[in-house]
Amino acid sequence: MPEESRAEMDNKITEWYKTVNKKIGSVKDLSKFLGPYPIDFEDFYGQQMNEYVNTDSIRHFIAGSGDRNPLWWNEEYAKKSRWGGIIAPPMFTDWICAPWTARRVESPSPMPWGFIGLPSGVKREILQPIRPGDKIKVHEKWLGLTERQSRAETRRFRLFFNTDQRTYINQTGQPVAIVEGTWVILATYERPSEAKEPLFAGGVRKRHKLTDKERDAIGRGYDTETRRGANTLFWEDVNVGDELKQLVAGPISSWDVTAFFVAAPGRAMAFDMEWERIKSDFNFAWLNPEVNAWFCGGEGHLHDGASITPLVTGGYAFALGGHIEWLISRVICNWMGDDAVLKRCQVQFRAAPIRGDVITVKAKVIGKSTEGGEHVVELEVGAANQDGLMLVPGTATVRLLSRGEAKSKTK
């Protein structure tokens, strides 16, 4: 590409960046998008998709995440817990409005072929459990675009981070969670269709074929998964350096990915409804060369070579970091038990897992303290694939009961 042409693109990108950031701090009530057909496709991927919570919706969510914790689904078990009944798992807000979907700021695009974007990370603050019977609305505050400044002139793109802060509010007006989702946006100097190599972390990926021993070990791990449950973990009994029991999950299949998109609905539509979405944004759609028809760009999560897979993994279908974050949450909840609270969790989606990846989730205690009269522990968490590629690193804060608290409650 001639240098003049690149310089001209840079000027347009800079002007776009300055213009859209004039709207920093703007607030939306995302619940206004809820309702009957026709769907309002404006900012479609930033919309609230559900509002009414019941045991069915929680059960469908945990089916998509693979989490068998009885606190989420067994009423008789949950009645005996400190919560007095079923509560939703910490990541359930994704069923209401997924944080790894972003307000659409790409339009009007300064690039003739639009932008390329993928989820980059999530920061969660969980304020109270969500329960069956709750009705949730979501208020969104746009925190704006930031550009990573340390780019070399030889880079193939300019890199931006688009962040939304979403507050989930129940029917009594109380916030139950505050979640920030960040979306990475690439303004590429080359046409995506002409790219010779992936733009994202991980480079050209390879699918791993399990040995019989590896395959059987994963099944045994599922069968022997343990949960602390009602056996209280006290703050005094936790030590810095303690390691949580790891979880090995996978290999990720197309069925796993489909279950994920159903558990965080609004991503899966069919026939007429999908055509409406395709018409709203052909930059996201994929022209399937085999049948010469427009398909949802989400096909790249299910089929090799579809949509933007060459730019992300070198051609392999890829899952999303959100599913891996759910696995991380599962490891934490198995360890902390029913009496504890996952207060905060912050993760980065550093590389996309591909279909066929086996995911190992590890976590360890890196700190203990008191926080506003609460007894908390800090965790370092991470999920890597079978090749050791770190996919989703992060941190978490868990509130545990102290022995003193437990004694005062029994008096």
Res 41 pLDDT > 90: no
Instruction: Tell me the pTM.
Output: 0.92
pLDDT band at residue 117 using 50, 70 and 90 as cut-offs? confident
Closest Cα to residue 179, out of 262, 119, 133? 119
**pLDDT score of 290:** 92
Higher pLDDT, 221 or 37: 221
**Hey, what domains does the chain have and what are their CATH numbers?**
205-252+320-411 (3.10.129.10)
Closest Cα to residue 301, out of 349, 273, 261? 261
Mean pLDDT of 245-253: 95
pLDDT band at residue 153 using 50, 70 and 90 as cut-offs? very low
**pLDDT score of 36:** 61
CA atoms 114, 118, 123, 128: torsion sign: positive
67 CB-side CA count, 13 A: 32
Mean pLDDT of 205-228: 93
Res 409 pLDDT > 90: no
Res 7 pLDDT > 70: yes
| 3-class secondary-structure state, position 47 | coil
> At a CB cut-off of 8 Å and minimum separation 6, what does 267 contact?
98, 261, 298
Res 370 pLDDT > 90: yes
* Cα–Cα distance, 387 to 135 (Å, whole number): 43
- CA-atom Rg of the chain in angstroms: 22
**pLDDT score of 2:** 47
Taking the mean position of all CA atoms in its chain, how far away is CA 273? 24
**pLDDT score of 12:** 86
Res 151 pLDDT > 70: no
* Cα–Cα distance, 328 to 122 (Å, whole number): 13
96: how many CB neighbours lie within 10 A of its CB? 29
Mean pLDDT of 235-260: 95
**pLDDT score of 410:** 47
Residue type at position 83 = W
Q: Where is mean pLDDT largest: 19-28, 244-253, 277-286, 294-303?
A: 244-253
Closest Cα to residue 49, out of 5, 101, 10, 111? 101
DSSP lists the bridge partners of residue 370 as: 375
Exposure b/e, 337-375, CB count within 10 A at least 16 = b: bbbbbbbbbbbbbbbbbbbbbbbbbbbebeebeeeeebb
* Cα–Cα distance, 161 to 163 (Å, whole number): 6
Closest Cα to residue 201, out of 349, 356, 320, 361? 349
Phi, psi values for residue 242, rounded to 5°: -60, 140
**pLDDT score of 168:** 97
**pLDDT score of 344:** 97
Mean pLDDT of 270-279: 84
Q: Which of 114-128, 162-176, 357-371 has the lowest mean pLDDT?
A: 114-128
Q: Which of 79-88, 115-124, 204-213, 401-410 has the lowest mean pLDDT?
A: 401-410
- Please, what is the average pLDDT of the chain? 87
List strand residue ranges (DSSP E) for 44-194, in order: 116-126, 137-147, 157-169, 175-188
Q: What is the pLDDT of residues 309-363, one digit of tens each?
A: 888 888 899 998 999 999 999 999 999 999 999 999 999 999 889 999 999 999 9
Closest Cα to residue 336, out of 231, 242, 406, 240? 231
